[in-house]
Amino acid sequence: MDPVRNPFAPGAGSKPPEIAGRDAILNDADVAIQRTLIGKWGRPQMLLGLRGVGKTVLLNEIEKMAEERGHLTSFLEAPEGKSLSEMLVPKLNQVLRKLSVTDQAKAQAHQALRALKSFASAFKLSYGEVTLSVDPEVGVADSGDLESDLPELFIRVGYAAKAAGKAWTLLIDEVQYLRPDDLAALIVSLHKISQKELPVLFFGAGLPQVAALSSNAKSYAERLFHYPAVGPLLPTDSKSAIKQPVEDEGVSISEDALDEIVLKTQGYPYFLQEWGYQCWNIAQNERIEVADALQAESAATRRLDDGFFKVRFDRLTPKEREYVIAMAQLGTGPYRSSDVAEALGESSQSLGPRRAQIISKGMIYSPSHGDIAFTVPMFNDYLTRNFTSKSSKT
C-alpha cells in the first residue's frame, strides 16, 4: 500500500494514531487537573513502566489536557548529570513572566520573580536568554540548600498562580535520572504545596525503580504520589491500536493478522507501532492479511535490533555487556543476581558495582530483593539473537 498514507510512525515519544487502553490513567489525570483549578488538592502522579510502553506519550497528552484546562505547564526531561535546579530556573522564569501580565497576579508574580532571582543566585544558575530586572528577595530561597529553597520557590509560584486564577503543572520525564538530592527536594516541595493547597500539580514518568527511589528519598513519598502502572496493552486494546488507524485510512485487516501481531508484540505499544508500520508497507491490497503480519516479523525485528535495542546496548561498557548477556543466557527473567554471578564465575559482592552502574543507566532494575530484570521488553531475545556467548561482541 501507499507508504505515504501509512498511519504508523514508531519513534521515541511519538504519539500513536490511537492511544488505546490508557483511558483510566488519562481520566485520573484530568480529574487532578480540574481539582487543582478549583482549589482542591490534585494528587501528584508518577507513571511507571518499562521502555516502549508509551509513558512519554501519556505525559505529552496530559500536558495538552492541562493546557486546554487553563494550566501553565513546564515539561522537563531529566538528563543524566544535569541538576533539577538548572532545568527548572528558565522554565519558572517563563511561567512567572506569563503570570505577571495578569493584573490581579502582578504583585505575587513580582514577589515570585524576586525569589527566583535569589534561588538562581544561590545556585549560580542562569534564566536562559532573559535576565530578571528585579532585586532578589533576601532570606527567601537563597540558603543554597535545595531541600529548603525549592519548596519556598514552589510556594511563591503557587501563590502567583492562585492570584491569577491559574494553575501550574510540572511534568518530568525519565525521573530515574534525577539526582537523589534533587528528587528529595522535589518531593518535599510537592508535599509543602499539598499542605498549603496551592494550584501546583506534578506528573512524572520513569522506570519501575522510581517508586523505590522516591521512598528512599522521603519515606512519605509512597503516600504523596499515585503510581499508575503503564504496562503492555490487553489483547483487545492491542488490536484496537492497530485496527482503528488502519480503518481510518479506509483499509481493513483480518482477525488472524491482528492475532499474529498481538502474539509477536506481546502488547507493547512501541512494538505494535513497528509491526503496524511494516504490515502496512508489505500489504499489496487494501486489506492486511495474516501472511503480511508473518512477513512483517523479519523487517520489524531488524529495525528494532538496529535501533530500539542497539542504541541501549551501545551505552554499556564491555564488562556491562558481558553482564547483561549472561542474564539473557539464563532465559526469561527476572533473574537472581546470584545466578548471574555464578554464570560469570564471580561473587555477587564483586559484581555489585557493575550491576549498580547498569541500573543507573536505566538498563536493568530490581523488581524485588535479590532479583534483576531488563527495563527493555524482549531485550533478552535481542541478546540471544545477536550474541551467542558471553564473550562475543563485547
pLDDT digits (tens, 9 = 90+) for 240-295: 999 999 999 999 999 999 999 999 999 999 999 999 999 999 999 899 999 999 99
Question: Looking at the predicted structure, is the pLDDT value of residue 181 above 90?
Answer: yes
Alpha carbon distances (Å) from 103 to 98, 163, 166: 11, 9, 13
Reference 360, options 368, 352, 370; nearest CA is: 352
| Kind plus residue range of the DSSP H or E element containing 324 | helix 318-329
For residues 86-107, give the mean pLDDT. 93
Q: What is the pTM of this model?
A: 0.91
According to the model, what pLDDT value does residue 130 have?
Answer: 52
**Residues paired with 76 in a beta bridge:** 172
According to the model, what pLDDT value does residue 77 have?
Answer: 94
d(CA 174, CA 244) in angstroms, rounded, equals 30
Question: Looking at the predicted structure, is the pLDDT value of residue 137 above 70?
Answer: yes
d(CA 261, CA 264) in angstroms, rounded, equals 5
* Max Cα-Cα span within the chain: 71
Q: Can you tell me which residue has the cell 530578571?
A: 132
For residues 198-224, give the mean pLDDT. 94
According to the model, what pLDDT value does residue 391 have?
Answer: 42
According to the model, what pLDDT value does residue 382 have?
Answer: 96
Question: Which residues, including other chains, have CB under 8 Å from residue 250's CB and lie 6 or more apart?
Answer: 286
Evaluate the CA torsion angle 20, 47, 141, 194 in order and state its sign: positive
Tell me the pLDDT band of 388, cut-offs 50, 70 and 90: low
Rg (CA), the chain: 24
Is 240 in contact with 234 (CB distance < 8 Å)?
A: no
d(CA 92, CA 73) in angstroms, rounded, equals 10
Chain mean pLDDT for the chain: 93
Domains annotated for the chain, with CATH where assigned, are: 23-224 (3.40.50.300), 233-312 (1.10.8.60), 319-386 (1.10.10.10)
Alpha carbon distances (Å) from 223 to 148, 154, 211, 215: 21, 20, 11, 9
Amino acid letter at 311?
Answer: V
For residues 341-351, give the mean pLDDT. 95
**Residues paired with 287 in a beta bridge:** 252
Neighbours of 67 (CB within 10 A): 13
Q: What is the DSSP letter of 127?
A: -
Exposure on the CB side of residue 263, measured as CA atoms within 13 A:
11
pLDDT tens for 15-69 read 888 899 999 999 999 999 999 999 998 999 999 999 999 999 999 999 999 999 9
Neighbours of 100 (CB within 10 A): 19
pLDDT tens for 163-180 read 999 999 999 999 999 999
Question: Looking at the predicted structure, is the pLDDT value of residue 122 above 60?
Answer: yes
Question: Looking at the predicted structure, is the pLDDT value of residue 11 above 90?
Answer: no
For residues 346-359, give the mean pLDDT. 95
| Kind plus residue range of the DSSP H or E element containing 28 | helix 23-37
Neighbours of 247 (CB within 10 A): 12
C-alpha cell belonging to residue 243: 485496527
* Percent of the chain residues past pLDDT 70, beyond the cut: 96
According to the model, what pLDDT value does residue 79 have?
Answer: 80
Question: Looking at the predicted structure, is the pLDDT value of residue 134 above 90?
Answer: no
User: How many residues does this entry show for the chain?
Assistant: 394
Alpha carbon distances (Å) from 360 to 12, 20, 80, 348: 20, 31, 9, 17
Reference 142, options 184, 114, 161, 170; nearest CA is: 114
Reference 351, options 329, 377, 330, 372; nearest CA is: 372
